[in-house]
Structure formats: structure tokens, C-alpha cells
């Protein structure tokens, strides 16, 4: 019994320390974006780099832990938007906006998760952010597919359709959001409206310049 209690206390202390280290890493990422280094994170946490490696293994391990932390928070916001007691189009708008708000309010975190640092730093660390960002997007796609399947009656092939829609919507949000964050060609509200129009089937209703309605 005592061993079990001791093990539980040790696990709790380890989890608390890991959370503190992730919070320190997040502060550095918010400051430095993709250039955040293990040295800077260790200094911020008041520890040596070997201790940081002991908790996360390498920068890839730290990246994955931060990705889970932020993906969990984003998914909570997306689910809340999809569950809002409003018209379906308004829910679509709120879901798109939740994603864009996340990358707009914490652009350095987004860049750390989605874009590699300069080639020199990447070569030194052996860390390829692009290799790690794909699983993050796949997880978002799968989780959104579950939400869609749980909330919409998509018929006998609903599970397959929900996965296609989930990954398709995430791909659209990621590509459009990445471009928008770099160029800022319009307001966030305008981008949400344009993307909602696309998802809402507006492509089928606009007139083709050469052949009339449709393509």
C-alpha cells in the first residue's frame, strides 16, 4: 500500500514538473517562434539541458508534447463551436473562426508547430518540423471526423464521408489560414465568410463566366 502511494505521489510530482517545463517552453516559443532552442527553454525553466532531455528525449519529443497540449485546447474550442445552439451555418462560421483565432492570437506557437526553423538550425538539431506537423493535422482531421459523425446523420456511408469531410475541412482551414496569416489579404471575419460560403455550396450556385451556372 505504501509503495502504491509513493508511486502515485512520484507520478503526480513528475506530471507537475513536466507541466511546468511545458509552460516554460511555451513562454520561449511565444517569444522566439520556430527559433526556440532547447538551451533557451532549459534556461527559462532554471535547469540544465540534459534534465530537459530526460523529460522529453529531444526537441521532437518536446514538440510532440506541445502539439498535444495545443491540439487538445483547439479541439475543445472546435467542439464548443460545433455544439453551439445556433443555426448550422452559424456553427460552421464559429468553427472556422475558432481555428483562425487560435493561430492569430498565438502566431509564434503556430509557426513553431507548423514551420521549420532556418536550415542551419534544422541541420544542427536534426529536427524536421514538417515531419512532425503532418501527424498533428491528421489528428485534427480524425477528431473533427468523429465530431461530424456524432452530430450529423450522413447515411449508410456516414463514417467514410465524415472522415473525408473532417480531413478536407482541416486541410482547407490549414492551407487558407497559413496563407492568410502570412499575407493578411482581408480581415479574419471576411475570411471566415468566404470559407463558409465555399463549404455551404456557393461554388455550385455562382455563374460560370463561359457556360452559365456551374462548371
Judged against a pLDDT cut of 80, whether residue 11 lies above it is answered with no
Q: What is the pLDDT of residue 7?
A: 53
Residue of 145 and 119 predicted with greater confidence = 145
Q: Which residue has the cell 534544422?
A: 122
**207: which 3 cell numbers?**
455563374
What confidence tens digit (pLDDT) does each residue in 70-87 have? Answer: 888 888 998 899 888 989
Q: Is 86 helix (H, G, I), strand (E, B) or coil?
A: coil
Instruction: Set out the domains of the chain in order of their start, with CATH numbers.
Output: 58-202 (1.10.357.10)
How far is Cα 60 from Cα 16, in angstroms, rounded to an integer? 21
Average pLDDT, the chain: 84
Judged against a pLDDT cut of 50, whether residue 204 lies above it is answered with yes
Mean pLDDT is lowest, of 74-83, 120-129, 149-158, 166-175, for: 120-129
**What's the predicted TM-score (pTM) here?**
0.79
Q: What is the pLDDT of residue 127?
A: 52
How far is Cα 112 from Cα 150, in angstroms, rounded to an integer? 32
CB-CB contact of 114 with 104 (8 Å): no
How far is Cα 110 from Cα 171, in angstroms, rounded to an integer? 15
CB-CB contact of 55 with 41 (8 Å): no
HSE-CB at 16 with a 13 A cutoff on CA atoms is 6
Mean pLDDT is lowest, of 31-40, 46-55, 118-127, 171-180, for: 118-127
What confidence tens digit (pLDDT) does each residue in 173-187 have? Answer: 999 999 999 999 999
DSSP H helices in 85-203: 88-105, 107-114, 119-125, 129-151, 158-183, 188-199
For 212, phi then psi, to 5°, come to 85, -160
Amino acid at each position: 500500500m505504501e509503495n502504491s502511494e509513493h508511486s502515485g505521489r512520484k507520478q503526480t510530482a513528475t506530471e507537475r514538473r513536466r507541466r511546468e517545463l511545458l509552460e516554460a517552453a511555451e513562454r520561449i516559443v511565444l517569444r522566439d517562434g520556430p527559433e526556440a532552442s532547447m538551451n533557451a527553454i532549459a534556461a527559462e525553466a532554471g535547469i540544465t539541458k540534459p534534465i530537459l532531455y530526460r523529460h522529453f528525449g529531444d526537441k521532437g519529443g518536446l514538440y510532440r508534447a506541445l502539439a498535444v497540449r495545443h491540439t487538445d485546447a483547439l479541439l475543445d474550442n472546435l467542439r464548443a463551436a460545433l455544439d453551439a445552439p445556433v443555426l448550422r451555418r452559424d456553427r460552421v462560421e464559429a468553427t472556422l473562426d475558432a481555428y483562425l483565432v487560435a493561430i492569430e492570437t498565438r502566431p509564434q506557437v503556430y509557426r513553431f508547430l507548423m514551420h521549420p526553423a532556418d536550415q542551419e538550425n534544422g541541420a544542427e538539431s536534426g529536427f524536421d518540423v514538417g515531419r512532425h506537423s503532418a501527424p498533428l493535422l491528421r489528428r485534427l482531421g480524425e477528431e473533427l471526423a468523429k465530431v461530424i459523425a456524432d452530430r450529423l446523420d450522413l447515411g449508410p456511408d456516414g463514417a467514410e464521408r465524415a472522415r473525408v469531410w473532417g480531413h478536407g475541412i482541416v486541410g482547407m482551414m490549414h492551407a487558407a489560414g497559413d496563407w492568410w496569416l502570412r499575407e493578411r489579404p482581408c480581415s479574419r471575419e471576411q475570411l471566415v465568410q468566404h470559407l463558409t460560403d465555399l463549404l455551404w455550396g456557393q461554388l455550385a450556385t455562382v455563374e460560370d463566366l463561359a457556360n452559365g451556372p456551374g462548371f
